[in-house]
Chains A and B, each alone.
Chain A
Amino acid sequence: MVDPAGFQVGLIAIIFDSTNADVFQVTEVQPRITSSITQRDIRHGQQEFQQAYGEGSTVSLINYSGYYGRRNGGPVPPQVDAENVPGDNVLISEIVADDIEDLQIRLVLDDGDGTGRSGIDNTTLARVRQLRIYLARPESASDPQWSEAPELYNHTTLPGCVDILHSPPRRY
């Protein structure tokens, strides 16, 4: 039996209303026949949702990719990886860019102020106007033309990669 909407065990789906969303893995799909309509019975088996979603909340399969910086240490160059979840709950990781030692994101609000933290409430989320993505790449020498002060975002210290070549760049 095939669900035309594509729900299958192992796939990644999302349920959301106007304020909250939860990403989950489908663990069971069964038809539920009633006298008037045919329904799908979908079960999830992971963490609790943020809330008990009400009638009319939307559910769908999603495409989902995550990007993050990885510091390998030693002679292995740092890199930005992408993790995709195409199905079966298997995270497939691939290198997007070499020699990127830090990835920071800054949310710029409507008043020009910014925050480097996520998990902000929906009121603050509604005020976001820009996303600034900051990638730090190690260099063997400082750029004499660079006059802007280093952006720490919510780091307490400047990443060492900015002024020190931690590992040799990968050569192709």
Chain B
Amino acid sequence: MLAGRRRALAFRALRDAKGECPVIPRSRLMAGCTVLSRVYLDRNHDRVGHPRIAAERSFTTFISQQKAYVVQNAVAEMQQEPERRNAVSGNGCAKRGYGLPPRSAMRSRHSVGGGTISMISGLGISDGGTTGSDNLYIIYLSSTATQIADSMPNVSPRSRWWTRPVFRWD
């Protein structure tokens, strides 16, 4: 038997009771003490227990609604992220490799790190090392290709070379 009002909710199982030990009637004197103790617990239930129950019920409702909102938000994000990725990269992916050789070792000052890129069908790949992100490049020609008229004299960055005329100058 636990102290408390009739029909009051038990928050813990009887076996877990510590402070609120089962009441064991002994003498009248001890029984009086027990009654006082029961009143004290009753007041606690009135002041704390019942508002706590109400609060727990309202918070439970809020938490369930919050969980549903979080799940809905996560699902929306999962749906939106691939769509945005596809929208940005889809156009370039469709055109990648246009006018370029199927595979070549490409070097670009504009690549991350400026190193050599392996280019396969317009997709350039460079390695980010053992800790960094790899890099992906989408490359395609944007104008009419032309050919150089003479072999380049050297690989100097100041070299000057010429293209065959595809169009005449205006």
User: A residues bordering B, Cβ < 8 Å?
Assistant: 1-6, 12, 14-25, 31-32, 37-71, 80, 82, 85, 89, 91, 94, 96-99, 102-105, 107, 116-122, 125-126, 128, 131, 133, 153-156, 169, 171-172
Contacts and interface: CB of A to CB of B under 8 A. Distances in A.
5 contacts: A4-B170, A65-B137, A67-B89, A99-B81, A119-B118
B145 A59 contact: yes
Contacts of A38: 165, 168-169
B170 to A, nearest CB: 6
A82 B142 CA distance: 18
B105 A122 contact: yes
A164 to B, nearest CB: 16
Given A65-B137, A105-B136, A125-B118, A48 B155 contact: yes
Contact of A44 (B150, B151, B157, B166): B157
Interface in B65-120: 73, 77, 80-81, 84-85, 88-89, 92, 95, 99-101, 103-112, 114-120
Interface string B130-147: 110111111111111111
B88 A39 contact: no
B19 to A, nearest CB: 37
Given A52-B154, A98-B81, A46 B143 contact: no
Interface of B: 73, 77, 80-81, 84-85, 88-89, 92, 95, 99-101, 103-112, 114-120, 123-131, 133-170
Contact of A103 (B136, B137, B163): B136
B133 A69 contact: yes
B163 to A, nearest CB: 5
B121 to A, nearest CB: 9
A59 B142 CA distance: 11
Nearest to A91: B110
Given A5-B146, A39-B162, A60-B142, 18 more contacts: A6-B143, A16-B106, A20-B104, A23-B108, A31-B169, A38-B168, A39-B165, A49-B107, A49-B152, A63-B138, A66-B110, A66-B124, A66-B136, A104-B133, A118-B127, A119-B105, A121-B105, A155-B130
